[in-house]
Structure 1
Amino acid sequence: MIFPQVDAFRGGENLIRVVGHRGARGVLPENSLIGFDFSLSIGVPLLEFDVVLTADDVPVITHNHRLHAPSFRDAEGLFLTGEEPKVSSLTFEQIQEFDIGRLDGHSAYGRRFPDQAQMDGVRVPRLMDLLNLISDPKNGDACLMLELKSDPDLAHDTRYREKLVGRVLQEVRARDLSSRAVLHSFDWNLLEACQRQAPDMPSSYLTQLPENADDVGEDSSKAVCPDFRGRRDDIPHLVKQAGGSLWCPYYADVTAKNVELAKDLGLCVAVWTVNEPEDIAKMIALRVDAIVSDYPGRVQRHLSDLGMVW
């Protein structure tokens, strides 16, 4: 099947796409409407973000399965301490009591993003809030790389997977945006459920080799991602066999060989998460299709300096 939204992420001879990771996490609060709107406003209409279900089955946009202490503040304006409550244990109304507009600069996570603006009154958005934003005619070229977050505690629960996929699809279809969304996950079993429930939508397969360290302060993908140890250059074949349209590998895992193989198989290659100038340059040299970045402006600058477009 040909999926028009895949072409939105596909590069060309003088073209590499730029994808705003969690909006533009390097400069604005991550997975926030203001971050998404900023990315759209600078000519980066491709958005990558994370979806988790609340206790009342509302799809919300946040990365971790627990409220992230370095970026969640309570009603008194204090960053969370102690055990982080699970998103799935709270209703959407309860989650709205927390502010995500600042980062705790004393935390290891906060020190990773020293340039992120500090704001007040920023709340966790619903998936529907973002869908409403891109439904605005001025954002008609926006496409979504929608990551369904698989809870490791429920990774083998078929009913949970089907419910998560079903609720996400219900909202995407309610706004008639199926043709502008890609379903994206590290959990290949979850992507099977996506293909069953939404054969009209493409699947994007996230991968990370186990030898690479996890990012500080973030849920690890390794609990749900297949173990590709010793199979680096065979991953594109596995993605294609699984029914994938996009391969989204960790940038340190790509080589000239596996990028070429993936393209020969017809896969679109979108690498994550590429922030440092030297790494951006390497990915451009490899001619990946798309670069997912917390700093979309940095990628734009590199491409512009080379006379390339995005």
Structure 2
Amino acid sequence: MTLPSWPYPRWVAHRGAGKLAPENTLAAFRLGASHGFRMFECDVKLSADGVPFLMHDATLERTTNGTGLGGDQPWGALAQLDAGSWHSRAYAGEPLPSFENIAHYCLRNGHALNIEIKPTPGVEEHTGRVVADHAARLWQGQAVPPLLTSFRPESLAGAQAAQPQLPRGLLLDTLWKGWLETALSLDCVALVCNHALWDTSTVTQAQAAGLRTLSYTVNDEWAAERLIALGTDGIITDRVDLFSPMA
């Protein structure tokens, strides 16, 4: 089967700059870009009043000075939080970014984006729809659309229903029963797997089904070399200081 056209670079900076800056912040994107990365992965969820914003965890405690579920608070309150001090003093006061602000940063600098739809539990399908609608509006007329991914098939189904033209990828941490069929039923263009799941068999299965093959989170040279040798398409890494994306 012919693989879909693939306008994205091989190297993707995880959550902006991996662990070198506070994840999912504009500061992290800027640092990743300073290391030469031109594609970024980030996590997007919804505030209580429906504003998409960047954060990985369902709860606020690990990466902000807030408490409770991020999705339970309005954007006005979330925007006031400190999302940098947990990482280091240099980033004290760094705010949680809205998805719109990150989108504008990427678009103005010609960067590609992998949006992981990371819903608050219970609003999986709705989050997929809203994030896809925002992405379609922000990238309207652009040659390279964002890649929408999620571990939650319901979120990808929501994105598919809302904006079927946007490319989608199914995230996998295990090869659960029906993984390939699910990706195909969602009209995905890619599978994004824990890098240990890729071997000759799984790469062959994915490619035979017309799917691109991406990996997370690849932080060792031996792992990257193995994935390149297998013929995979994308590598998501924390180690923006180790890998040269221009190589």
Q: Report if TM-score (shorter chain) is over 0.5.
A: yes
> What is the rounded CA distance, in whole Å, between the counterparts of 1:185 and 1:198 in structure 2?
15
Q: Please tell me whether the aligned partners of residues 23 and 47 of structure 1 are also in contact (alpha carbons under 8 angstroms).
A: yes
Please, which runs of 5 or more residues in structure 1 have no aligned partner? Answer: 11-16, 75-83, 105-115, 156-160, 210-227
Q: Which has the larger radius of gyration?
A: 1
Question: Residue type matched to 1:148 in 2?
Answer: I
SS in 2 for 1:122: coil
Question: Residue type matched to 2:153 in 1?
Answer: W
Q: Does 1:70 align with 2:62?
A: yes
In the comparison of the two structures, how many residue pairs are matched? 244
The alpha-carbon deviation at position 98 of structure 1 amounts to: 1.9
The alpha-carbon deviation at position 3 of structure 1 amounts to: 11
> What is the rounded CA distance, in whole Å, between the counterparts of 1:237 and 1:56 in structure 2?
34
The alpha-carbon deviation at position 29 of structure 1 amounts to: 1.1
Q: Please tell me whether the aligned partners of residues 280 and 299 of structure 1 are also in contact (alpha carbons under 8 angstroms).
A: no
Q: Does 1:23 align with 2:6?
A: no
> What is the rounded CA distance, in whole Å, between the counterparts of 1:242 and 1:175 in structure 2?
23
How far does the alpha carbon of each residue in 1:230-277 deviate from its partner, in whole angstroms, 9 at most, with x for none? x5xx74454234311011011111112111221232211110111133
User: Which one of 218, 232, 239 corresponds to residue 288 of structure 1?
Assistant: 232
Q: Give percent identity, aligned residues only.
A: 23
Aligned to 1:143: 112
Question: Residue type matched to 2:91 in 1?
Answer: M
TM-score normalised over the length of structure 2: 0.87
> What is the rounded CA distance, in whole Å, between the counterparts of 2:3 and 2:145 in structure 1?
9
User: Which one of 29, 37, 42 corresponds to residue 30 of structure 2?
Assistant: 37
SS in 2 for 1:145: strand
> What is the rounded CA distance, in whole Å, between the counterparts of 1:170 and 1:152 in structure 2?
20
Q: What RMSD, in angstroms, separates the aligned Cα atoms of the two structures?
A: 2.6
Spell out the pairing of 1:86-105 with structure 2 (5 A cutoff). 86-103=69-86
Aligned to 1:189: 154
SS in 2 for 1:7: coil
Please, which runs of 5 or more residues in structure 2 have no aligned partner? Answer: none
> What is the rounded CA distance, in whole Å, between the counterparts of 2:113 and 2:83 in structure 1?
22
User: Which one of 132, 135, 140 corresponds to residue 172 of structure 1?
Assistant: 135
> What is the rounded CA distance, in whole Å, between the counterparts of 1:236 and 1:297 in structure 2?
34
Question: Residue type matched to 2:64 in 1?
Answer: F
Q: Please tell me whether the aligned partners of residues 103 and 118 of structure 1 are also in contact (alpha carbons under 8 angstroms).
A: no
Question: Residue type matched to 2:27 in 1?
Answer: I
User: Which one of 193, 197, 207 corresponds to residue 253 of structure 1?
Assistant: 197
SS in 1 for 2:241: helix
Q: Please tell me whether the aligned partners of residues 271 and 291 of structure 1 are also in contact (alpha carbons under 8 angstroms).
A: yes
